[in-house]
Amino acid sequence: MDPTTASYYRAVLFTDGLEPRQLPDSLARLHQWVIKRHLALGLNGTLSKTTALCVALTWLSTTEDGRQFSCENLPLGGMFGHYFGEDTTEGDPSFDWTKVVQETPVYVLLKDNSTVKGEFMECRGSWIDVRVDGEVRHFRASKVQVIGA
């Protein structure tokens, strides 16, 4: 990725185009796909600021990595973290996470269908913050269950 486009993405994600942190890998993969489509359409291989903004917003709102990044790093994270059209039939829709006390033991279903034990920290829309091995991570409410419930 060229340094100019990388600075556009950093300006969107970190509010500073000179931020030294590395861009997320899934955003870089989406960027490469967009560049290939640009070339296939006969456009040049560099992105404008507007296109970079569209790519970053698409990544934030449609990928799991982007939604988690937004929940952790952006003031509007709750907005991007909510996945519109998500299947609400998963989990128990009658369960009210707002009534769960912090540090309540929970199980989390991971992508590989294994479970991990953690502690409930906070509910933010359809996302649940769970402390797992001392680190707070974000999971969909449908993937978290209170132990004993």
Cα three-residue angle 119-124-130, rounded to 5 degrees: 15
Residues 72 and 138 in one domain: no
Note the pLDDT tens digit of each residue in 39-77. Answer: 999 888 888 899 999 999 889 888 888 887 887 777 766
Please determine, for residue 83, whether its predicted confidence score (pLDDT) is greater than 50.
no
Count how many domains the chain has. 2
Place of tokens 């600075």: 7
Could you tell me the pTM of the whole model? 0.55
Please determine, for residue 140, whether its predicted confidence score (pLDDT) is greater than 80.
yes
3-state secondary structure of 72: helix
Is 72 inside a domain boundary? Answer: yes
**CA atoms within a 13 Å half-sphere pointing along the CA-CB vector of 50:** 0
Is 142 inside a domain boundary? Answer: yes
Structure token digits, residue 143: 């993937």
User: Which amino acid is present at 78?
Assistant: G
Residues 22 and 59 in one domain: yes
Is 52 inside a domain boundary? Answer: yes
Note the pLDDT tens digit of each residue in 84-114. Answer: 444 443 455 567 888 888 889 998 888 777 8
For residues 126 and 82, is the Cβ–Cβ distance under 8 A? yes
Model pLDDT, residue 53? 92
Residues 77 and 111 in one domain: no
Query: CA-to-CA distance for 103 and 118, rounded, in angstroms?
Result: 8
Model pLDDT, residue 39? 92
Residues 7 and 53 in one domain: yes
Range of the domain at 133: 97-146
The band of 149, judged by pLDDT with boundaries at 50, 70 and 90, is: low
Is 86 inside a domain boundary? Answer: no
* Phi then psi dihedrals of residue 145, to 5 deg: -135, 135
Is 37 inside a domain boundary? Answer: yes
Residues 7 and 75 in one domain: yes
Last residue within a domain, chosen from 81, 109, 130: 81
Percent of the chain having pLDDT more than 90?
25
Residue 117 maps to which CATH number? 2.30.30.140
Model pLDDT, residue 87? 41
Is 87 inside a domain boundary? Answer: no
Is 89 inside a domain boundary? Answer: no
